[in-house]
Amino acid sequence: TTTQFSSILDQFLSKQISKDEAEVTLKTLALSTMEKKIDKAIANLVSKLPLAAMEENVNEMELCSRFIDPFLARLFDDLDNGIYLRWLDETTLEAKESPDLSVTKSCDVKWATTLAYGEAKSSMHGDDHYAICKDLIKVAIFCKDALGNQLFEGILGIQIIGRTVLIYRLTLPAPSIYTMIPLAAIKVPNSINDLPELVYKVPDILKVLDIFDRVCVGSKNPETIKRRSSPTLPTAKIQQLFSLSKNRKRPCHIQLHHN
């Protein structure tokens, strides 16, 4: 699979085929269902990414529409089964308590269950460890509450910082013990020229899609999930995890290079 993707992108970058031909060729490959999702995501980026890298100081709305949504929507959207990647309030991403995005399954004309939650920050916030840590805890709480309310095996958590997409799996393996395990860190390319780098992440993306398909479902033992669940801590208690003062020079163990 990776060889096929690389070959088509190489032909496109060397101008042996046009952008339209690259998109069509990618979309007509004979692949498995999960590989096809990645195929469509790469083809979508071919049509959306600029030829040369742009400056990184873009806001959340531009970040999501230009780089993140063309990639994530093709991975998680499954319209035949009523599954949609949703940006919940694009106009006020900075000023709300609801999550920035979710992957939600519909039932007839209503939203039924949520399979993933996510938060997004532009690269200009990449060094704001306080905001980044709070976003991660916010994602964990949304996932934890969804797992208990829906009696699911697991929920995906997604944290977006600049063009870096961090994906986690939250499960409840024992009473009151919630585990949030990192699955992948994927950097969406910022230009057509950097698109081949994404091909090296295909195994990680396949792992995420496999877990999403197998784990983000209703539990076979809902009574076990109900028995293991525990109440969410009050906001005041969670706030105690953070120091009262802010210092950007203070070391942060979850710091990553996002762009």
Quick check: helix, strand or coil at residue 136? helix
Highest mean pLDDT among 82-91, 98-107, 125-134, 163-172: 163-172
Nearest-angstrom CA–CA distance, 195 and 161: 18
Q: Does 150 fall in a domain? A: yes
Q: Tally helices (H) and strands (E) across the chain.
A: 10, 6
Split at pLDDT 50, 70, 90, the class of 129 is confident
Give the pTM: 0.88
Say if CB 167 and CB 156 are below 8 A apart. yes
- Model pLDDT, residue 31: 92
Nearest-angstrom CA–CA distance, 229 and 46: 44
Q: Does 231 fall in a domain? A: yes
Strand order in the sheet with 164-174: 83-87, 101-107, 110-121, 154-161, 164-174, 177-187
For CA atoms 82, 180, 171, 42, the dihedral sign is positive
Share of the chain above pLDDT 90, in %: 64
Q: What is the pLDDT of residues 151-161, one digit of tens each?
A: 999 999 999 99
Query: How many domains is the chain built from?
Result: 1
Q: What is the pLDDT of residues 202-236, one digit of tens each?
A: 999 999 999 999 999 999 999 999 999 999 988 78
Residue type, 54: M
What residue numbers bound the domain in which 17 lies?
2-239
Q: Does 248 fall in a domain? A: no
Pair of tokens at residue 202: 């295909």
Which region among 38-42, 122-126, 161-165 has the lowest average model confidence (pLDDT)? 122-126
Highest mean pLDDT among 22-26, 120-124, 223-227: 223-227
Split at pLDDT 50, 70, 90, the class of 92 is very low
Q: Does 43 fall in a domain? A: yes
